[in-house]
Structure 1
Amino acid sequence: MRRLLKPRRLVILLLLVALAALLWMGQALRVYERAWFAIEEWRHAEVWRDKSLWLPDYRVVLEAEPIEGLDDDVSALTYDPDRQTLFTVTNKPAQIIELSLEGNLLRKIPLHGFGDTEAIEYISRDVYVISDETHQRLIRVTLRDDTRELRIEDAQQLALAVGRGGNRGFEGLAYDSAGKRLFVAKESNPVHIYEVRGFPYVHSDQPFAVHVVEDLKHNRNLFVRDLSSLQYDERSGHLLALSDESRLVLELSAEGEPISSLSLLRGMQGLRRSVPQAEGIALDDTGTLYLVSEPNLFYVFKKREAEAP
């Protein structure tokens, strides 16, 4: 009888270990929060559909178009409403890359002394902010049509010693032009969104004050596993958060509540294949969503009612 009890105890112990492992993996992968959000998204669809971007209505219209002519993978993406083009960055070598709305290479601008460039954000005409991930720096640059190169000594810089640096630092930027707020995304360990007020400086020769808000409401229900990019929607006041590891774009309300999502998995949103490694998103004046992924792939998503016949 004792011999029969030992195998039973071993089986029970193994089952308990397996259950604990499944629970831990579910928590680590944020499976439970994502499943609950899927239910909530379905329940409040009618409430939010007309007063948000409502990402479930988006479908891919240009998928995995290769970006030709680059020596390194691009990171981040931002839309320039004045030029009606897109800008991204590489870090080996450090460059600003200008793209057409179809993903074609328009020009390269070498960056000297900028470090590990991971994000770029349009601020106003000819003014951009670039992030240096490793050193947690924000760098303001002026980018004109005749700009051929940029040097770090000519740029405004702001160092933010928040969280832990390394290669899990500032991965995404977004700007609210009305509120003069710059949102900064920390990639992971932990995932976090900061709000920076007072940078970039309007007049660098006058006294200035920079205020960093760390306890944003957006962080309370942010269930994605990492952050690759951010995008602020001026019309709704909502923030888009792109997660490569979660294969998801998440729409957050002004109060930080998750509203809607766009899946980057095969079979979702019209995708024939999953987006391999999403690195940047941008939104233009018409609501069209642009996305870049390693290895230098370009995507365009449009709302169904905005698609061409």
Structure 2
Amino acid sequence: MRYLLKPRALLSLALLLAVLFGLAGAQQMRLFERGWFAVQEWRHAPEWRERSLWLPDFRVDIEAQPIVGLTDNLSALTFDPDRRSLFAVTNKQAELLELSLDGQIVRRIPLTGFGDAEAVEYISPGIYVISDERQQRLFKVHVDARTRWLDAADSEQLSLSIGEDSNNGFEGLAYDSVGRRLFVAKERKPLRILQVLGFPQQSEGQPFALHVQGDAVRDQRLFVSDLSSLMFDQGSGHLLLLSDESHLVLELDQAGKPISSLSLVAGMHGLKRSVPQAEGLAMDDQGDLYIVSEPNLFYRFKKPGGE
């Protein structure tokens, strides 16, 4: 006991504890796996660049631009190719927002009965899905130029139970229009991505056939701390993930393997400051990448040589 009380021994013990806590924290943040991926990304760049979106090539074009007229609770993002605009949601004083491609509010549609709206996804002309994080529900809604408000009671709904923690529920949606697959991201505890077939229904009046499946192997190799948003690229068949806590956008190939990334930390991809609380991710039909962060910041990334 006397030996342990000596200053040198106490210092050694403190250093040992600091190292152990550091290693535990690094493991929790998946830093070792992320570092190994960075090496693999560099090694396979020539091969992977040819068959992917290749996120390392993107550079910020609009950085941290405040969305005028909005002060709080911005979440999610999706691109509407018919209107060539973006849609997002707010979850307090819930609204569906239409944004221009340079981050200006085009219109605001009040939402009634949608609970804690956290994600929105374009499905087909005039059709969207909105998620309720806490009650883990999905709503199919119709939106056109005449829409002035949306009531959940008028929508087709689906409830899914993927965990008891209602505050870590549905944080992201993405849709594969060819395979008719809706991807649903659970934020954490545990982090999961589900694939839903049969919702939303393509034709009303048809028999309702629902199939939900996960991919535990894919989910376990995701070296991010949380999931904030999803985006499916129809051309490559790849899925993009946005992680707020990890400050990262990650590209998965068709097998669910990470192949490229975009860091949201200051000094990377032309960013002057790190992106705070990134909540929404979308890509338009020209290949430009958009991110929104809570409460109201707008970002656009382009590849060099793009218009």
- TM-score, reference length from structure 2: 0.96
Please give the per-residue CA displacement for 1:243-271, whole angstroms capped at 9, x wherever unaligned: 00000000011111110100101110000
Q: 1:5 to 1:283 in 2, by over 3 A?
A: closer
- Any idea what SS the aligned residue of 1:53 has? coil
- Counterpart position of 1:14: 14
Equivalent residues of 1:136, 1:165 under 8 A apart: no
What is the number of equivalent residue pairs in this alignment? 306
**What do the CA deviations read for 1:45-68 (whole angstroms, capped 9, x no partner)?**
011111100000000011111101
- Mapping of residues 238-249 of structure 1, within 5 Å: 238-249=238-249
- Shift in alpha-carbon separation, 1:6–1:129, aligned structure 2, 3 A: same
For the residue of structure 1 that corresponds to 2:16, the secondary structure is helix
Any residues of structure 2 matched to 1:44-193 within 5 Å, and which? 44-193=44-193
CA distance in 2, matches of 1:168, 1:5: 44
Question: Structure 2 stretches of 5 or more lacking a match?
Answer: none
Partner of 1:139: helix, strand, or coil?
A: strand
Amino acid corresponding to residue 278 of structure 2 in structure 1: A
Going from structure 1 to structure 2, the CA distance change for 1:204 and 1:11 (only over 3 Å counts) comes to: same
Query: In structure 2, how many angstroms separate the alpha carbons of the residues matched to 1:10 and 1:61?
Result: 52
RMSD over aligned Cα atoms? 1.5
Question: How much has 1:91 moved relative to structure 2?
Answer: 1.3
Q: What secondary structure, in the 3-state scheme, does the structure 2 residue paired with 1:167 have? A: helix
- Deviation, 1:189, is 1.1
Q: Which residue of 1 aligns with 2:38?
A: 38
Assess if the C-alpha contact under 8 Å between 2:71 and 2:295 holds in 1: no
Q: Indicate the percent of aligned positions where both proteins have the same amino acid.
A: 59
Within 2, Cα distance between the matches of 1:266 and 1:14?
A: 32
What's the TM-score, normalizing by structure 1?
0.95
| In structure 1, distance between residues paired with 2:182 and 2:218 | 14
- In the TM superposition, 1:214-253 aligns within 5 A as 214-215=214-215, 217-253=217-253
How many angstroms apart in 1 are the aligned matches of 2:14 and 2:67?
A: 50
Secondary structure of residue in 1 paired with 2:73? coil
Task: Say which SS state the counterpart of residue 178 (structure 2) adopts.
Answer: coil
- Partners of 1:6 and 1:93 lie apart in 2 by 58
CA distance in 1: counterparts of 2:52 and 2:118, whole angstroms:
28
Instruction: Label 1:36 to 1:153 Cα distance change in 2 as closer, same or farther (>3 A).
Output: same
SS of structure 2 residue aligned to 1:272: coil
SS at match of 2:26: helix
